[in-house]
A = this chain, B = another copy of it.
């Protein structure tokens, strides 16, 4: 967990990005990852072959308001210079370094995280999005946000989330504790917010796709409980699209 190279400083980076420009956090054969963009900027600045590790490996199209990553750098830099210089080399990319700070040597963006927060945005109106295109899931049929919130409460707590987990999910266990899941309407927008120590692959998107069924009145909150108990992916609703999902925060021990 400590820096691999002698004399290196471990840096914590706060990143904002629009997921539409990338194939996700990790590079794929199909295209460019956020990780790659940041690593190239680090290399352009320092000449060092740095690996940038993130708290959450967001999927293709998923946005981040405050992704956290760490990187080890030998080159001496102050935090404002590092932030501004990385943004210089990231010009034209839909990713920005919002802050950089020195982290303890044993800090790990992924393994030290105590909590992750996500937001799922639904634009719930007949007209499609124009200003918010690519930033929301457009659901034209009327949704009952209060019913969705009631259904969401059936998922809060420690559960086997097999029904809400992508088949390709690599987590060792489907057991997770969802600390909070709330649904609220703000005009034409429905916002689903969630907090947990960690999430399974597609968990938030499968939850959003399931809560849509509740919002449409096709499912009751009891149906959500039954889907959860079934421990079978096909028992829950479809996977909502990536473009509505935002990683909103990652929390660490303040020490």
Contacts and interface: CB of A to CB of B under 8 A. Distances in A.
A63 interface: yes
A9 to B, nearest CB: 20
Interface of A: 16-18, 63, 65, 80, 83-84, 87, 91, 93-99, 125-131, 133, 135
Copies in the complex: 2
B133 A18 contact: yes
Nearest to A135: B131
A126 B94 CA distance: 16
A98 B18 CA distance: 25
Contact of A130 (B96, B125, B133): B96
A126 B63 contact: no
Contacts of A84: 126
Contacts of A131: 16-18, 63, 65, 94, 135
A132 to B, nearest CB: 9
B18 A96 contact: no
B18 A126 contact: no
B130 A94 contact: yes
